[in-house]
Every structure is written in structure tokens, then in C-alpha cells.
Amino acid sequence: MYPDDRVLIAIMNNLHDWATVQQERWYRIPVKHAPSEVPHIDWLAFYFTAKFKDDKWAIHYHAKVKGHELVTRADIFPDQTNHRRSGHWYYKLMLGPLQHTLPPIISKDWKRIIFIMTSGELFENAFEMNDLKE
């Protein structure tokens, strides 16, 4: 990771989505909720919520973004064409291998986040979530 790389911290609150990241190496972000920088990010890091029990409220993994596609939910999940958001647009981010974030970047106080943009330099030097902000 280079100091000027663009790193997006994304919430991971779903075990099914985490399994997809681990096994298929992609992650989806609804276009209408995505930061404008999403098509240009270099890295994606995952902030685990309480669903992840002992790993909650911390960033334990990150991955290089290899590319992205603009797709509908129906494209991603063809077996869910009747889903109420099947026509909504998503960024499908293709990821390189997961890398452990060591030590994990923790949240000293519980924080509700969706996305945080940061730099490679801040990410590499962070010990806690507040260190990610310029």
C-alpha cells in the first residue's frame, strides 16, 4: 500500500456478505449510498460490527481493489429477481486476496459508520478508528 492510495473503510454487518468476500472476492455497494470516490479507490477495508462477536468494532482485513462493474442487484443475484431492490444499481468491486490488518484498527468507542475514506498512509499508521481521519 502506498501513502497516497485511496482506502475505503466499509461496514461489514452480514456473515453472508463476508463469506462472499472470502470465497468469491467481491463486495457490493449500492450506488445511491456510495461515496463519490468508489470508482477510484485502491483498497477496501472491512469494519466488523457486533455480528462478528470477538472481532466486532474493528478492521481486521483489507484487500486491493482490482476493478469494478456497475450492475443491478438482479445481475448479482439472479435467483432474487423478485427482490424489491432487484433493479437498483450497485458497484461490484473485484478484490485481490484478503490481507490481515495487523494489528487490527479498533474503535475505542462504538461508532456507527457506513463508509470512511482515508489514505494509505493514515491506514497503515492507524491504531484506532479516529486515526483514519485527516
Q: How many CA atoms lie within 13 A of 96 on its CB side?
A: 11
- Taking only the tens place, the pLDDT of each residue in 52-107 is 999 999 999 999 999 999 998 888 887 877 777 778 899 999 999 999 999 999 99
Closest to 33 (Cα-Cα) out of 112, 110, 88 = 88
pLDDT band of 118, cuts 50, 70, 90: very high
Cα–Cα distances (Å) from 112 to 27, 47, 116, in that order, read 20, 10, 11
Classified as helix, coil or strand, 78 is helix
User: pTM for the full model?
Assistant: 0.92
Q: Which domains does the chain have, with CATH numbers?
A: 6-132 (2.30.130.30)
Cβ neighbours of residue 28 closer than 8 Å, sequence gap 6 or more: 17, 73, 76, 90, 91, 92, 93
Residues 105-125: what's their mean pLDDT?
Answer: 88
Q: What is the mean pLDDT of residues 21-26?
A: 97
Task: Find the radius of gyration of the CA atoms of the chain.
Answer: 15
Cβ–Cβ under 8 Å, residues 44 and 82 = no
